[in-house]
């Protein structure tokens, strides 16, 4: 019988999907390397949106993204150019405390990207707008409802995890504690790497480090 197994790499929402793949079909995952978004099992007390709202309030972008049209209108105000310049900059972390001020400051592009890259991202997102991407956040409550059978489920595939210490995710409520105890939830976790001075787009900003860690890990199989 034809059977596919894969080495899986994920970042941000890709990491969330990769965690879910490893939960639903561990037989298909040879090994997993995830960046930025650490594993948190489904919490019976509520979805991530519910817990985030209780923890940090309604101004967190997870909460603001739940309102159809509001996030899109805010991003339209600053233009796609302004939005992506902010997301790629060190100021991306200001999304965390206060959505209303999230895009007020825009700096130059970092060294790891270019004006050509920016133009490409803008042209691609203009084809369908940002709503399809933001809908991932709007589906969090539904995803929580549909995955009751996997409450507190452990990830049972060999895994490594990497994150920058300037990544906004690293500064979410309880993030450092959750990362430190991730081996309890991912028993086959082989390594956690916190990259000093690195931000959210670790695979671009520190490509050599990320590639070396992933290749070294995957070559062990």
The three state secondary structure string of 84-147 is HHHHHCHHHHHHCCCHHHCCCCCCCCCCCCCHHHHHHHHHHHHHHCCHHHHHHHHCHHHHHHHC
Catalytic annotation present for 60: no
- Residue entry with tokens 């993204």: 65
β-pair partners for 35? 11, 162
- Parallel, antiparallel or unpaired: strands 29-35 and 159-164: parallel
Listed in sequence order, the DSSP H helices in the chain are 13-24, 48-56, 61-64, 70-88, 115-128, 131-138, 140-146, 175-180, 182-185, 202-205, 207-218
Catalytic annotation present for 137: yes
Catalytic entry in 11, 12, 60, 166? 12
Catalytic entry in 11, 137, 166, 213? 137
Length of the chain: 221
Catalytic annotation present for 153: no
- Residue entry with tokens 């490893």: 22
- Residue entry with tokens 């062990």: 220
Catalytic entry in 11, 166, 200, 213? 200
Annotated catalytic residues are 12, 137, 200
């Amino acid at each position: 019988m034809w059977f596919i197994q894969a080495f899986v790499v994920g970042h941000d929402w890709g990491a969330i999907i990769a965690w879910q793949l490893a939960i639903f079909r561990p037989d298909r995952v040879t090994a997993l390397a995830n960046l930025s978004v650490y594993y948190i099992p489904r919490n019976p007390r509520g979805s991530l949106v519910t817990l985030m709202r209780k923890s940090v309030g309604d101004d967190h972008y997870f909460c603001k993204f739940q309102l159809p049209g509001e996030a899109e209108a805010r991003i339209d105000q600053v233009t796609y150019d302004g939005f992506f310049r902010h997301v790629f900059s060190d100021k991306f972390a200001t999304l965390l405390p206060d959505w209303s001020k999230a895009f007020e400051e825009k700096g130059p592009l970092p060294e790891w990207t270019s004006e050509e890259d920016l133009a490409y991202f803008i042209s691609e997102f203009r084809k369908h707008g940002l709503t399809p991407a933001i809908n991932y956040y709007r589906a969090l409550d539904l995803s929580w409802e549909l995955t009751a059978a996997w409450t507190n489920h452990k990830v049972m595939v060999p895994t490594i995890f990497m994150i920058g210490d300037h990544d906004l995710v690293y500064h979410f409520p309880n993030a450092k504690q959750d990362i430190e105890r991730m081996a309890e939830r991912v028993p086959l976790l082989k390594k956690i790497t916190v990259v000093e001075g690195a931000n959210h787009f670790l695979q671009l900003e520190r490509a050599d480090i990320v590639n070396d860690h992933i290749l070294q890990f995957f070559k062990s199989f």
